[in-house]
Structure 1
Amino acid sequence: MSSTSLPPSPEQCLVVGFGETCLDYLAVLSTLPRPGDKTLCRSMKVQGNGGAANALTCLARLGVRARLMSKIADDVPGKCILEELKADGVDTSFLVVAEDGQTPFSYVMVDESTRTRTCIHTPGSLVMDPADISQMDLKSALQGARFAYFDARHTDAAIVVAREAAGQNIPILLDAAERRPGLDGLLHLSDYVVCSAKFPQAWTEAPSQPSALLSILLRLPKLKFAIVTLGEDGCLMLERSSDAENPQMGEEDVDSLWRSLEQERDDGVVRPMCIPSNVVKLKANGIGTLTGRLLVGTAERIPPSELVDTTGAGDAFTGAVLYALCMNMAPENMLPFAATVAAAGCKELGARTGLPRQTDGVRLRF
């Protein structure tokens, strides 16, 4: 990581995101009250949340043009969401505002003593459906986009948008957190996927994370890479390569290779790092063989005194991956960069307070 500043984002780079947005009412308590008790609120914050909205806010703060396609109601939470997105520079011109219905919101209690959070979620009554998409100029919404991003919400409408993006040859990154109706259709249209820790094995029924990633890339030939985020354990990435580029490569069991890379972790290094393998033929019994390389990414080691709230850490990581793709960043730099951005978000209350800005380049050196 030789550079000491964040390079300027290319002005022509636009990321169009489709998915969820909601509002959080966050209260920090010294400890959660028992039934019937009262407790004092140490601090309070009202802030937006939601996968697509968080990832695009991350991008906008890093200097990338970000356009959100989502749906809110014309109510108090919806107006708060809209005002906050605009303040962060997110293009909301394709945000659907319903005259009726209720915008999703949550009451979130953060227990300061245990660093845990209790959430009471009101899902609202809004669903973005294909009828909403038919009323807008979809070609205009995607015009000039370098990448399209989906958080796997409102999948019926998402597939309509994704098909249009694919038809315009716009690469698609999908955030796959859990199995949902319509998710398979989005997966087959995607060029990149970032998964939650539970998703790869749940979707593939493979016996391990590395073999599950191998199975995902074999089942989805369009995918260039798949990443699984593992919280404080960092992440694991499988990148597809071409046989023609490495005609003399060897063959390795994907689980054995993963274990050997894990042994290279250095627990004494605080900043995130990436441990890549060579390009090899990766294999797993009963799954198949793929030419590619495995990369282990570590997380930033955050002192307990600095860890405030992990809300939105995965969304921040995904937003940073999108930024790295816009900047043509090599995976060896992309994974530590994304981990650094995610860690910054964990040091403040809420999903967005700690998201860095383009001017924070020295702090985000890579």
Structure 2
Amino acid sequence: MIVVFGSINIDIEMQVERLPQSGETLLCRDYLLSPGGKGANQACAAARTGADVRLYGKVGDDSFADSALEYLKAAEVDLAGVVSAAASHTGCATILVEPSGENCITVGAGANLEARAAQVPDSVLTPETVLLIQMEVTASENWHLIERARKRGARIILNAAPAAMVPQDVLKSIDVLVANEVEGGHVAREVGIEDGAPSRIPRALAQRYALTCILTLGGAGLICFGPDGGWAVPGLPISPVDTAGAGDVFVGALASAVSRGETIPDSMRFASTAAGLSCLKPGTQASMPEREAVEDALPRLPDSRRLA
């Protein structure tokens, strides 16, 4: 089982000719209103790729709340742990996407800042549980939940996104850290690792904190170092339509594969393929692939490379 504690948003996405400069207004033809939020996205991706998922978080008492949960319900995510925060708005993200698929995002956190670790009961934090956490809720609530989960033997995956400080005692408590280049560099600098070259960050963090560190590199794939050594896993060869949410698909699919007993190298290949497929359609949760589609596309992923 996968327990996700995290954010639930509505995304407002616009396709633009290019990303705007400071002070500039751009016009576009239309917009797409769809469910999002890193917690919800990763829960949806994990469920779509075959996992039993429970989501814990908060939505507002507003018209966006039901829409934010639409795809999660369809994916059969257990939403009993999602609570309404009467005095807050449901979280909302604005996403601008240019023709290359690159994007920029701004998030109004809303009810996500009221999500509490206490919503997650001890009964679901077991050695059979994979706890999946991101950085779009109050950080101290994340750290409290990680401490409880570690004491009860759950496996813990932390996606350090958006970029923020992660305390050293937390890094010592988690099993897997996932970050992109910006996020990984931020974590490394905060703990005094000055050489922030992408090729060195995963190795340095893995060795110092006895964890598996995965640094995602967009279309170029990822670099990973852990107790069993290092790997470079390529991205799926595609022509992207929309990269928004691809990182969340990677993390959710990774957790899904880990939860069913796959090795980290095999889980990363599964997740890299899932993330690539999600870039072929616009939207976040609407573009997330099912497990069968990922397994069908896996042979198209180039070989991984062992790193010394």
TM-score with structure 1 setting the length: 0.71
Residue-by-residue CA offset, 1:274-307 (whole Å, 9 max, x unaligned): xxxxxxxxxxxxxxxxxxx22111111213xxx2
1:299 aligns with 2:235: yes
Shift of 1:349: 0.7
Paired AA for residue 147 in structure 1: V
* Cα distance in 2 for residues equivalent to 1:171 and 1:36: 45
Whether the 8 Å contact between 1:148 and 1:165 is mirrored in structure 2 is yes
1:343 aligns with 2:276: yes
1:219 aligns with 2:208: yes
Cross-structure match for 2:140: 156
Cross-structure match for 1:99: 86
* Cα distance in 1 for residues equivalent to 2:81 and 2:36: 18
Shift of 1:239: 2.1
Indicate the structure (1 or 2) with the bigger Cα radius of gyration: 1
Paired AA for residue 301 in structure 1: P
* Cα distance in 1 for residues equivalent to 2:104 and 2:178: 26
Structure 2 residues not aligned, in runs of 5+: 300-308
Shift of 1:173: 0.7
* Cα distance in 2 for residues equivalent to 1:185 and 1:324: 26
- Figure out how many residues of one structure are paired with residues of the other and give that number: 291
Shift of 1:361: 5.5
Superposed counterparts of 1:32-51, under 5 Å: 39-41=28-30, 44-51=31-38
The percentage of counterpart residues that share the same residue type is 23
Paired AA for residue 302 in structure 1: I
TM-score with structure 2 setting the length: 0.83
* Cα distance in 2 for residues equivalent to 1:317 and 1:351: 12
Superposed counterparts of 1:1-366, under 5 Å: 14-28=1-15, 39-41=28-30, 44-112=31-99, 115-117=101-103, 119=105, 121-124=107-110, 126-128=112-114, 132-134=116-118, 136=119, 138-142=121-125, 145-152=128-135, 153-177=137-161, 179-181=163-165, 183-202=167-186, 203=188, 204-221=193-210, 223=211, 225-241=212-228, 293-303=229-239, 307-360=240-293, 363-365=296-298
Q: Closer, same or farther in 2 for the Cα pair 1:45/1:176, shift >3 Å?
A: same
- Name the stretch that deviates more: 194-203 or 161-170: 194-203
Greater fraction helix: 2
* Cα distance in 1 for residues equivalent to 2:102 and 2:179: 23
Residue-by-residue CA offset, 1:173-206 (whole Å, 9 max, x unaligned): 1112355355444322201111211233332222
Whether the 8 Å contact between 1:155 and 1:183 is mirrored in structure 2 is no
- RMSD of the alignment, in Å? 2.7
Q: SS state of the match for residue 238, structure 2? A: coil
Residue-by-residue CA offset, 1:124-150 (whole Å, 9 max, x unaligned): 364135xx444x462134368521111
Q: SS state of the match for residue 149, structure 1? A: strand
Structure 1 residues not aligned, in runs of 5+: 1-13, 242-292
Q: SS state of the match for residue 72, structure 2? A: helix
Q: Closer, same or farther in 2 for the Cα pair 1:36/1:110, shift >3 Å?
A: closer
Whether the 8 Å contact between 2:117 and 2:142 is mirrored in structure 1 is no
